[in-house]
């Protein structure tokens, strides 16, 4: 099971979005309150903030799991 996705492009630039992960492992989610499982501290828009990086040809590293 992948822990991240790497979107490869052509420029010698890598942009990492460490706060973009939103999935919770089941064993952790089971111990959280309903409110915490909704991810109120997730940075829901960070990937949109860096959309321009793809236009520059940057590779982008996106995590799967919530921080």
pLDDT of 66 reads: 87
Going by pLDDT thresholds of 50, 70 and 90, the confidence category of residue 62 is very high
* pTM (two decimals): 0.76
pLDDT of 19 reads: 84
DSSP letter (8 states) at residue 24: -
Distance CA 47, CA 20 (A): 7
| Angle in degrees, CA 27, 39, 61, rounded to 5 | 85
Distance CA 40, CA 36 (A): 7
Q: Residue 56 sits in which domain range?
A: 4-63
Give bridge partners of residue 23 from the DSSP assignment: 65
**Count of domains in the chain?**
1
Q: What tokens appear for 29 in the block?
A: 């989610």
**Predicted confidence (pLDDT) per residue in 4-57, tens digit:** 999 999 999 999 998 888 899 999 999 999 999 988 888 888 889 999 999 999
DSSP count for the chain of H helices, then E strands = 4, 3
């Amino acid at each position: 099971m992948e822990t991240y996705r790497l979107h490869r492009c052509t420029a010698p630039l890598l942009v990492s979005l460490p706060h973009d992960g939103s999935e919770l492992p089941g064993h952790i989610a089971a111990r959280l309150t309903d409110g915490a499982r909704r991810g109120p501290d997730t940075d829901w828009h960070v990937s949109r903030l860096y959309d321009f990086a793809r236009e520059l040809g940057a590779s982008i590293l996106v995590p799967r799991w919530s921080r």
